[in-house]
Amino acid sequence: MGFGQGVSGINAAAQNLDVIGNNIANANTVGFKQSTAQFADVYAGSKVGLGTRVNSVVQSFTQGNIEASGRSLDVAITGGNGFFRMVGTDGSVFFSRNGQFLRTDDGRITNAQGLQLTGYPAGVQPGGGVQPQPLVVSNAQMPPKPTDRITAQYNLDSRSLPPTPVLTETTTVGAGTATASVSDVKVLTGSDYAIAYDGTNYTMTRVSDGAVVATGAGPTLTADGLTVTMSGTVAAGDEYTITSAPSFATAAGSPPAASMFNYSSTIEVFDSLGNAKQLTAYFAKGTSDATGTNWNMYVTDATGALLSGPDAMRFDLNGALVTPAAGATVNVTVPAANGAAEMNVAFDLAGTTQFGDDNDPKSIVQNGYTSGSLLGFAIEADGTILGSYSNEETQALGQVVMASFGNVEGLKPEGDNVWSATGASGQPLLGAPGGAMGQLQSNAVEASNVDLSGQLVNLIIAQRNYQANAQTIQAQDQVLQTLVNI
C-alpha cells in the first residue's frame, strides 16, 4: 500500500493548474500562444501502475485575433506561420509573434526589451546568401531626382481652326499685283479687300460682295519676314488687309502671342538640385488632308525661350496619334543653370487624341522631385518599410524578414514574448512575408490565442482532478490508520 499514485496525480494536477493559470494570466499578452499540459501514465514494471506525470507542455501556434491598434509601428502577422526575427545586442537570435515595435533615436526598430527587428536594406533581395541585419530607418533627407521623362496625354480639339491671325498693316495699292512683307496679320474691319489663309492657300475677296479677286500660295519666310505674293487685280486706291496663319515666334522674355497656338499646357519639372522649373508645351494646328491632320508642338521655359520645336504631330481620321510613333518621344533639352546640370527630358505623347471635344490634359506625369524630409513610415504587407517624405514622395527603406520552422512546437519559450530555435524546431527558414509565412498588417496586433472560456472550464476540471487525487491519499491514510489500530 502506498501514496505514490495520489501524490503523482496531485503533482500533475498542480502543474496543469500552473499551465492553465499561465494561459489565463497571458490572455491579454500580444502574440502569446496558449499551452496545454500532456500527461503520461507511469508503470515501471508494475501491473497496477504508479500514477501519472506531465509528459510535456505543448504550445498551440494557432492564429490569434487581429486587433486594430491605430499605431503605425504595431504590426500583425496574418494568415501564416511566420515569426519576426529579432537579434540582441550580443548577437543572439530570437523569434516573436509580438509586433509591438519601437523606434529608437538612431532609427533602429526594437521591441520593448531592446531586441532589434531584422531584415534587408532597401534594394537587397532576400536570399542569395545575404544575411538579415538590424533594420534602421534613417532620418536622412531623400535626395532630389531630376526629371528625365514626361508622360502626357492630351485631347486636342479637332474643331479648332489654325491659329487666328493678328493685325499687321493696311495698304493702299494701285491696280495690279498685291505684294506685302509682314510678320503677323489679320482681317481689318472696313477694308475693301481681305486676304485669308486656309493653311495652304491665300484667297483675296472683295469685302462688299465676297467675290474672289485673287489667289496665291504661301507664305514664304524670308530675311525680311513673311512674304505673301498675291496675283490678281484690285482697284486703284482701295485698301486691303493681309491675313495669314502666323509663324510661331518665341524668345526669352517674349513668349508667343495667343494667336500663334491653339492650346498650351504648363508642366513643373525638377533639376538636379531639386529646383522646380516650369515648362510650357504649345500646340498649333496645321493643315488637314484626306488621311489626317497635322499639329506642331513647341516647348519653352518659363521665360519663353524655345527648348524644342516645331515637333510634328499627326492624327489619323479617327483622331489617334500616328506621329510621333508608338514608343517614340520628343527630346527636350533644358540648359544648365544656377549650378544645376543640363536636363534631357523625354516627352512621351502616347495616348494623345484629336477628338471633337475641348482641349484637355487627360494625364500629365513627370518623374522628378525635390529633396524631402522623413515625415513617417509604414510597414507594408510584403514587409517593405515605406517612408513618406515632405516632398510628397515615398521611398523603400528596407524589408522585414520573416522566419518559419519545420516544427514550431519545438521552439523554446524564452519569455518576453520570444522563442529561440532548438534542434527539435529545426533551423529557421528565412524569407520575405507572403505565402505560408503570412503577410504583415500595419496598425494592428495579433492578440493572444488564449480561449478564456475554455481555460476557465479546464481550470474547474483541473481543480476537481487535484481534489480527487487528494481524496485517494486521504483514503490510503484511513486504511493505514485501520491497520495501525489492529
Residues 123 and 266 both lie in one domain:
no
Torsion angle, CA of 77/81/84/90, rounded to 10 degrees?
Answer: 160
d(CA 54, CA 17): 12
Coil, helix or strand at residue 212: strand
User: Is 282 part of any domain?
Assistant: yes
Look at residue 44 and tell me if it is in a domain.
yes
pLDDT in the model for residue 127 = 64
**Structural domain of residue 36, as residue ranges?**
4-62+449-485
- Describe the crossing of helices 452-485 and 4-25 by its angle, rounded to 10 degrees: 160
SS3 407: coil
Which of 326, 344, 366 corresponds to the end of one domain? 366
Same domain (yes/no): 442, 453: no
Q: Which three cell numbers stand for residue 424?
A: 527539435
DSSP E strands, 34-115: 35-42, 51-59, 66-68, 75-78, 83-87, 93-96, 102-103, 109-110
Q: Which pairs from 333-337 meet CB under 8 Å and 24+ separation?
A: 333/307, 333/308, 334/269, 334/271, 334/277, 334/279, 334/301, 334/307, 337/271
Distance CA 31, CA 86 (A): 14
Please state, in angstroms and as integers, the Cα–Cα distance from residue 182 to each residue in 69, 166, 480, following that order: 74, 10, 134
pLDDT of residue 124: 79
Q: Find the distance separating the first CA and the last CA of the chain, reported in whole Å.
A: 16
Residue that has been written with the C-alpha cell 524631402 in this structure: 372
Q: Are 382 and 434 in contact (CB under 8 A)?
A: yes
C-alpha grid cell for residue 373? 524630409
Sign of CA dihedral 72, 78, 80, 83: positive
Q: What is the β-pairing status of strands 149-155 and 343-348?
A: parallel
What's the grid cell of residue 48?
497496477
3-state secondary structure of 65: coil
| Separation of alpha carbons 486 and 483, rounded Å | 5
Give a yes or no: residue 481 inside a domain: yes
Residues 154 and 252 in one domain: yes
End-of-domain residue from the set 189, 207, 242: 242
User: Looking at the structure, do residues 276 and 325 belong to the same domain, yes or no?
Assistant: yes
Helices (H), 360-444: none
Distance CA(171)–CA(239), nearest Å, equals: 6
Q: Are residues 463 and 415 in the same domain?
A: no
Cα 217 from Cα 140, distance rounded (Å): 64
Q: Can you give the length of the chain in residues?
A: 486
Instruction: Give me the CATH number covering residue 312.
Output: 2.60.98.20
Q: Which three cell numbers stand for residue 69?
A: 491598434
Q: pLDDT tens digits for the chain (486 residues)?
A: 467 788 888 898 899 999 999 999 999 999 999 999 998 888 877 777 888 888 889 999 999 999 999 898 999 999 889 999 999 999 999 999 999 999 999 899 999 999 999 999 887 776 667 789 999 998 899 999 999 999 999 999 999 987 755 434 444 444 344 444 333 333 334 455 566 656 566 666 776 777 776 666 544 433 333 344 454 544 555 545 444 445 688 999 999 988 889 999 999 999 999 999 999 999 999 888 899 999 999 999 999 999 998 999 999 999 999 999 999 999 999 999 999 999 999 999 999 999 999 999 999 999 999 999 999 999 999 999 999 999 999 999 999 999 999 999 999 999 999 999 999 999 999 989 998 999 999 999 999 999 999 999 999 998 898 888 888 888 877 877 877 787
Indicate whether 196 and 91 sit together in one domain: no
Same domain, 268 and 154: yes
pLDDT score at 4: 75
Type of residue at 122: A
Q: Which long-range contacts (CB under 8 A, 24 or more apart) does 62-67 make?
A: 62/33, 62/449, 63/446, 63/449, 64/31, 64/32, 64/33, 64/97, 64/446, 64/447, 64/448, 64/449, 65/446, 65/447, 65/449, 66/441, 66/444, 66/445, 66/446, 66/447, 67/444, 67/445, 67/446, 67/447
In a domain, 191, yes or no: yes
Closest CA to 14 of 32, 34, 39: 39
pLDDT of residue 219: 44
pLDDT given at position 478: 80
Consecutive H or E run containing 295: strand 292-300
Q: Are residues 155 and 296 in the same domain?
A: yes
Residues 231 and 302 in one domain: no
Alpha carbons 156 and 44: distance in angstroms, whole number: 94
Residues 284 and 348 grouped into a single domain: yes
Count structural domains, the chain. Answer: 4
One domain, residues 255 and 311: yes
Q: Please report the pLDDT score of residue 293 as a whole number.
A: 95
Residue 165 is assigned to a structural domain of this protein: no
- How far apart, in Å, are the Cα atoms of 12 and each of 25, 26, 29, 431? 20, 21, 26, 40
In a domain, 233, yes or no: yes
Is the same domain home to 112 and 177?
A: no
Which of residues 346, 366, 386 is at a domain's end? 366
